[in-house]
Structure 1
Amino acid sequence: MERSKKVIFTSHCILNQNTVVPPLARAKGPYRDIVEVIFNNGIGIHQLPCPEYRYLGLKRKPMTKEEYDNEEFRKLCKDISKDIVTVMKEYLDNGYYIIGLIGINGSPTCSIIGDRGILMEELLSSCREANIELNLIDVPTDYHDGENEKGFIDRFKEFISNAC
């Protein structure tokens, strides 16, 4: 079977809400609506590691970007970013198309739009150094899986359509 050779990079919690700080989870497991759109378009998913989980584990308390922004955590995010860029280059060097990157708006590590999270700061900086340009989208802070009242899924479908 022929591959689509399309892949999208996602923040960890798009596929695994279990790693989200307990009071902030917005879905029971993965964001099914988002994953369904990706699957329906024949796009592969590459899940980013969760630096918050790696740094403090599952029993961490909610923290701000300022609380995470220390030398040790930033180094972890830089190291993760270098690994991700290596993976992106491998895809690109083998004829794949990267649809884009999905972040989590308001996340201290994975927000892309507005106040950028620490992982995304480091990742997008590493991408610039490697001359990798990405289409970017954030899951809005008021989005909950299955509740499309704000039209995010419609915007996400358009994002996918424009990128393909």
Structure 2
Amino acid sequence: MASQNWKGGIFLFTDKRSRRLVLAAHCLLNQNAISDGTADYPGTHEEVARLLLEEGVGILQLPCPELCCLGLDRGDPLGASRPVTVENTRIRREMERPEAAARLDALVEQVLLQAREYHRHGFSILGIVGVNRSPCCGVETTSENGRETAGRGIFLQRLLDALAAEGLYLPAVGVKFGPQAAERVAELLRGRTPLEPDV
């Protein structure tokens, strides 16, 4: 690892930084981006953010694919009037359309650029924290056919595939909102992916 920090006769990144980070779903740090009617916190998932801060782990905040591709109202101002999994299924269908899919690829590439740089310089990317039930960022569960089902969100699956193509195999854990989320993230930080999904 030291050789990865040796550049042009000097050692890089020898300051106070931990050189450890996770990739985190956007809405964990910014509830304002989440689809209407689904925010559980005024601003940030407090338990997860507190844990990462206490552990000295950096956070690479993933872009919100739904916001970037569909807008804050997800293309339908009446979305909050439907059950969450029904609205999530609609969002998933919209994200599968060619225009949104092309934007997803660009978002994945942005994240890959950052992950490559951290990896190239010997930083430890401990894993990905997604949000279960999400049509884009679900890890163990997503929304399809009007219900929560086993599977990954569209963005997260593309991201994991792209990382693997680069030789970066990252563990991923999905959380929902509540204090048990921090326990799942703590397991990820210890190198153990929780066995039971947070559903």
TM-score range normalised by the length of the shorter chain = 0.7 to 0.9
Distance in 2 (CA, whole Å) between partners of 1:154 and 1:102 is 12
What residue identity is the alignment partner of 2:137? Answer: C
In 1: Cα distance, 2:158 partner to 2:168 partner: 13
Q: Where does structure 1 lack aligned partners over 5 or more consecutive residues?
A: none
Match of 1:102 in 2: 129
Q: Note if 1:111 corresponds to 2:138.
A: yes
* Contact persistence 1:77–1:119 (CA under 8 A): yes
Aligned counterpart for 1:35 among listed residues 49, 65, 79: 49
Partner SS, residue 22 of structure 2: strand
Q: 1:153, CA displacement in angstroms?
A: 2.3
Question: Residues 84-105 of structure 1, C-alpha deviation per residue, up to 9 Å, x if partnerless?
Answer: 1111010011110001101111
1:123 aligns with 2:152: no
Q: 2:116 is matched with which residue: 77, 89, 96? A: 89
In 2, are the aligned partners of 1:74 and 1:118 still within 8 Å (CA)?
Answer: no
One-letter code aligned to 1:117: G
**Matches for 1:1-164 after TM superposition, within 5 Å:** 1-60=15-74, 61=79, 62-64=87-89, 65-113=92-140, 114-140=150-176, 143-144=177-178, 148=179, 151-162=180-191
Normalising to structure 1: TM-score of the pair? 0.88
Paired with 1:16 and 1:69, the residues of 2 have a C-alpha distance of 24
**CA displacement at 1:66 relative to structure 2:** 2.5
CA-based RMSD? 1.5
Once the two structures are TM-superposed, the CA of residue 48 in structure 1 deviates from its matched residue by 0.7
Return the alpha-carbon distance in structure 2 between the equivalents of residues 18 and 75 of structure 1: 24
Higher radius of gyration, 1 or 2 = 2
What are the Cα deviations for residues 97-137 of structure 1, in whole angstroms up to 9, with x where unaligned?
Answer: 00110111111111121321111121111111101010110
Give the Cα–Cα distance (whole angstroms) in 2 for the partners of residues 51 and 67 of structure 1: 11
